[in-house]
Chains A and B, each alone.
Chain A
Amino acid sequence: MFAPLKKANVEKIHSLSLKILNDVGIEVESKEARTILKNAGARISPEEKRVYIPASLVEDALKKAPSSFAIYGRKKEIRLDFKRGSEAIFGGSGVPSLIHDPEDGTRRDAKLKDFISVTRLFDGLSNVDLVTDSCTFVDVAGKDRDITALFHLANNTRKPLLLHITFTNEEDFDHIIEMTNILKTNVFSGNPFIIFRISPMISPLRLDKVHTNHLIKTARADIPVCPVSAPQAGMSAPASLAGTLSMMNAEVLALLVMSQCANPEIAFLYGPFPEVTNFMTGNTLVASPEAFLLNIAANQLAEFYNLPNWTTVCRTDSKILDIQTGYESSFGVLLISLCRPTYVSAVSGLLESSFCISLEKIVIDDEIVGMVKRVMKGIDTGPDHYAYELISSIGPGGNFLAEEHTVEYMRKEFFIPRVSELSNWNKWASSGKPTALTKAKERVKQIVASHSTSSLSDSILKQIKDVMPDITLAVN
């Protein structure tokens, strides 16, 4: 198993995080949050809005945090177990505002129509277990974006969901909780079906007002949470990776304490998103080797706490669907998957440091995950797999093609690609020189056009419309 940090280093990071929370503290903008933390035993300095969280409070939260939870799709059989050591769950992440046009390499603002296409694509791809809200859309008012996304997710896939709470203001957040309850009762047979990813932490060490209050309400509504700390090494965190990790971990632990104080039984995903600074250009890098290392180390910390976790790796800093996109994406997914995290955001379709989405990239990500899953399955070592008798009966100079054993195992042992191009030059040239990209384009068209999930019933639509008359339920 990959492990960049030794156990002693992990323990050191843990103790430094406790020290940061107790001695340095975090700034908390929300009065309600400060009151909750104070009542739980944190020390407050009122002038500074600074909250000092004692180690005992953190340790207690870690003790109480559930080590596993499940969410469901429209059918109870579609169940995802967020549990360390069980099979990794794959899906997307991120909310870019731009969409890539594969024909001319340009990008434009994403629209609700695109969001729906991506959701249908996620529903149709076998390596997407969890469907996330893939992008923002320019044709719906910003404040209504999250709730509109929630509806169109539920309307276009049967799979369990994750929603980034990004643009909703405080007054409107109750509507999201209300919509979630309607969907839970009417569509998901009363089962938990969604995780909210919320970003209250502004590194270094500050909790904002709006999103912290969202987090509190989410926890109270008993919706599983994955709050984000996204420190940027060299800018909003130390340039040394170990320093970034200590601070990032302190931030995630503060988010855990915050969620737990609001609801002691809340299902919590350890899910930071550490990035690094490109000192040559000043922008953020999501796919550098250091960003990968930080994410892998974050996974080790979650392992240390026995908490289910979220990792974000299938990223590229490239702008288009080129070689850089291919190697950065596969590099990250393979590395993190070999560390056995709970969730891998690997089928995200993200380009341009996560500012842009591409449907074709989603299909290619699905292919990469298929390959990675094959590697994770490992080499089967049953007696029939060693095939001693077969080798011995074929002997020197024979061949194995026509053997029963080959026919029996070829589909089980070998990954069967969907878009990778494997034929030889002549065959390839005579069939129009297809590439993974041209094949991905075809696959996108085919899935978006033909794959469908039954839409929500009129009675559910009516309930939703009664509560939220402004919501866009249909697109032209």
Chain B
Amino acid sequence: MGRFRKSTETVAFSLSCFSNNDLEDIHLATLEILQQTGVRVESDEAMEIFEESGASVNRETKQVKISPCLVEDAIHAAPSSILLAGRNQAHDISIKSGKTHFTNFGEALMVLDPETGEYRDSTKQDVADITLVCDALSEVDIVWRPCDAKDTPPHASSAHEMESIFANTSKHIVHGPGSGELMKKDIQMGALVAGGVKELKERPVFSSVVCPSSPLTLGKNCCDVIMESARAGVPCIVLSMTLAGATSPVTLAGTLIDHNAEVLSGIVLSQLTSRGTPVIYGSSTTIFDLKTATTPVGAPELGMISTGVAKLADYYLLPAVVAGG
């Protein structure tokens, strides 16, 4: 092959979990899945983009089969280093291989009230409060939307969240708007903060995040956000959340292949929409606990999958964000 990073030059203190041969095996199996089985793409516009670029599209089943050359071309076209701008320039971060940054994670639906200990729905005020805390903490480099503003009208809650996040941090922001329409609003708001549409492209003060539906499906909203982000030049995190044993194979190696196929299909869509647009390889994949029917994020397997994903992204020379627990 030799198309991607050949040997992992380890920095002083790091962990290896795969040999180059393992990485190549995973890559080749992923290419085979994307070409033979394909992914389900639930957006007409996205199907059109895939078709125009030479993918084989079945409009009825929405099955899109992507050739290895399209996939590898997208991996090469996607940038290896991405500026994640802060509203305050001092908080700018450049994400690339060999340097690790930290973020909170989120999109919780419930909050443990710090005053009363009550377990309750999260509110817009919680979004503001948690953002402010993250702004103050020196080890938090990027502020991720911590929870939903469930006390605001559902169709506008995304905009309410962005409003309170922008107002409470000058660090780079990650926000998943949930639909293409809402992404347009995020872009409008981001452009206002950055000083214009062109300025937002130059200094993206926020990134979007989307999740494919496992196994192997890019839902309509997912496609729309990827395409809107690509057009606006806003970095987009394609983050799979497969559950080993439920929405992907119970074996971790199989889960990584399924995961990789989903994320790469999203990356292909982003690069076909706008070649060279910043896109980030993401994972919050864990296991499905078959005893309690829950999705434990404290499981050792989550760390192992995240380590595998980080290595895979590094092999592709793509910036990655992974769940730490």
Question: Quick one: which of B17, B25, B33, B110 contacts A391, CB cutoff 8 A?
Answer: B33
Question: Quick one: which of A381, A385, A397 contacts B217, CB cutoff 8 A?
Answer: A397
What residue of chain A has the Cβ atom nearest to residue B248's Cβ?
Answer: A400
A425-B292 Cα distance, complex, nearest whole Å: 11
B254 in contact with A410 (CB, 8 Å): no
Contact with B along A1-41 (1 / 0, CB 8 A): 11110100000000000000000000000000000000000
Interface of A, helix, strand, loop or mixed by DSSP: loop
A388 in contact with B251 (CB, 8 Å): no
A75 to chain B, nearest CB (A): 31
For the complex, is B279 an interface residue (Cβ under 8 Å from A)?
Answer: no
A153 to chain B, nearest CB (A): 31
B246 in contact with A400 (CB, 8 Å): yes
For the complex, is A424 an interface residue (Cβ under 8 Å from B)?
Answer: yes
For the complex, is B258 an interface residue (Cβ under 8 Å from A)?
Answer: yes
For the complex, is B204 an interface residue (Cβ under 8 Å from A)?
Answer: no
A394-B254 Cα distance, complex, nearest whole Å: 12
B303 in contact with A379 (CB, 8 Å): no
A396 in contact with B251 (CB, 8 Å): no
A400 in contact with B29 (CB, 8 Å): no
Contact with A along B206-229 (1 / 0, CB 8 A): 000000010111000000000000
Q: Which of the listed residues B18, B248, B251, B257 has the most CB atoms from chain A within 10 Å of its own CB?
A: B251
A399-B243 Cα distance, complex, nearest whole Å: 10
A100 to chain B, nearest CB (A): 24
B40 in contact with A387 (CB, 8 Å): no
B292 in contact with A427 (CB, 8 Å): yes
For the complex, is A392 an interface residue (Cβ under 8 Å from B)?
Answer: yes
Interface size on B, residues (CB 8 A): 55
Question: Quick one: which of A338, A386, A395, A420 contacts B254, CB cutoff 8 A?
Answer: A386
A397 to chain B, nearest CB (A): 5
A397-B18 Cα distance, complex, nearest whole Å: 29
B25 in contact with A413 (CB, 8 Å): no
What residue of chain B has the Cβ atom nearest to residue A293's Cβ?
Answer: B13
Given the interface pairs A394-B215, A397-B215, the reply to whether A379 lies near B294 with Cβ below 8 Å is no
B285 to chain A, nearest CB (A): 13
B254 in contact with A391 (CB, 8 Å): yes
A396 in contact with B292 (CB, 8 Å): no
Residue numbers in A under 8 Å from B106 (CB-CB): none
A193 to chain B, nearest CB (A): 32
Question: Quick one: which of A395, A413, A424, A425 contacts B244, CB cutoff 8 A?
Answer: A413
Given the interface pairs A378-B17, A396-B40, A413-B244, the reply to whether A405 lies near B253 with Cβ below 8 Å is no
A422 in contact with B33 (CB, 8 Å): no
Within 8 A of A (CB), among B291-320: 291-292, 294, 296, 298-301, 303-304, 308
For the complex, is B256 an interface residue (Cβ under 8 Å from A)?
Answer: yes
Given the interface pairs A391-B258, A423-B292, the reply to whether A380 lies near B215 with Cβ below 8 Å is no
For the complex, is B32 an interface residue (Cβ under 8 Å from A)?
Answer: yes
A414 in contact with B301 (CB, 8 Å): yes
Question: Quick one: which of A371, A372, A387, A424 contacts B249, CB cutoff 8 A?
Answer: A387
B138 to chain A, nearest CB (A): 16
List 16 interface pairs A-B (beta carbons < 8 Å), by A numbering: A338-B15, A374-B300, A375-B300, A379-B17, A379-B304, A381-B25, A384-B251, A388-B29, A396-B39, A396-B215, A397-B40, A399-B246, A405-B250, A410-B250, A420-B296, A422-B294
In the A-B complex, the 5 residue pairs with the smallest Cβ-Cβ separation, listed nearest first, are A387-B254, A396-B40, A387-B249, A396-B216, A371-B300
